[in-house]
Structure 1
Amino acid sequence: MTSHTDHHGRGAALTGRELNRLAVTATAHCLTGCAIGEILGLVIGTTLGLSNAWTIALAVVLAFAFGYSFTLVPVLRSGLAFGTALGIALAADTLSITVMEIVDNVIMLLIPGAMNAGLDTWLFWASLAVALAVAFVAALPVNRALIRRGKGHAVVHQHHR
C-alpha cells in the first residue's frame, strides 16, 4: 500500500491497483487534451504547407493549451480563483504533457514520410495513432509516480465536484 491523498482529497492508502487505475485515468485525461492540440496543430501545419519544425511547434503549443484547459476548466468550476486554478493545472500537467509531446513528435519524425504524408493518407493517420499510443505508455509511469507522491492529478481531483 502507498500512502497518498486519494482522488477525493481524503488521506488514504491506495493499493497498487487503485493507483494504477487513477494513473490510467489521469493519463487518458491528459492524452485527450494533448491529442486534440497535436492533431489540430499537425493538420493546420500540413494544410498550410509549414515546415516540419513550424508544424511541430504549432502542435506542441496547441497540445499544451488544450491539455491545460482540460484541467483548468473543471478546477475553475470548483470555485478557485483563476491564478490558483492555473497553478494547479500547470503543476498537474506540465511533466505529463512534456513527456507526451516529446515522445509523440519524435515518433512522428522517426516514421519515414509521416510528417510529409498528406492528410488523406493512411500513413499520416496511422503514424499519428501510433505516436499518441506510445506517448500514453511513456506518460503513464510519470503520472503514476506523481499521484503516488500526492502530486499531479491527485491534487486536481481534490477540486473536482
Structure 2
Amino acid sequence: MQFNLYHWLFDDPYTAGSNAGLSGPETFHFVWPWLIFCCAGLLLAFYYAVEGRKRFVKGKPLVKYMLDRYLGWFAVICFVGLPLLFSRVFLDGYFFAWRAWRYLWLVSLLVWAIMWVVYMLRKYPQERASYEAYQQRQQYMPKSSKSNKRKAKAASR
C-alpha cells in the first residue's frame, strides 16, 4: 500500500476513518493538549495586555515593544487554533476538519517561534545597546524647560 499525501492531508475524518476500516470518523488524540495550549496562550496574552504591561515592563520600552509585537501574533495564532479544533471535533465531515489546516496552523506557530528566537538573538542585543547608549547620552543633555514655562504661565493667570 502506497502512502498518498494528498488524501492524508485533505480527506475529512469520516473518509479517512472509512479508508482505515473504522466504523466512524478517525479519532483526534490531541484535543486536550491543543485546547490547553490555545487557552493558555490566549490567557497569557490577555493578562499581559491588561496587567503585565503596567506591572512588568513599565520602565523597559524595548521589552514592552517586543512583547507587544510577539504576544499579539501569538494571541492571533491561538485564537485561530480554537475554531480549527472546534471544527475538527464537531464538524468532522466538513472543510475545516482536514489535517491540512492543523498542519498549516502548526507551521504558523513554528514560523512565529523562529521569528521570535531570531529577534532575541540578532536584533534585541543591538537594540538594547543602542537604547543604553541613548540613555547614557540623555544624562548629559539639558532638561527641557517646557514644564517650567507652563508652570509660570499657569501661575500668572
Is the shorter-chain TM-score for this pair beyond 0.5, marking a shared fold? Answer: no
Say which one has the larger Rg. 2
Higher strand share: 1
* Structure with bigger RCO (C-alpha 8 Å, 6+ apart): 1
Query: Could you tell me the TM-score, scaled by structure 1's length?
Result: 0.30
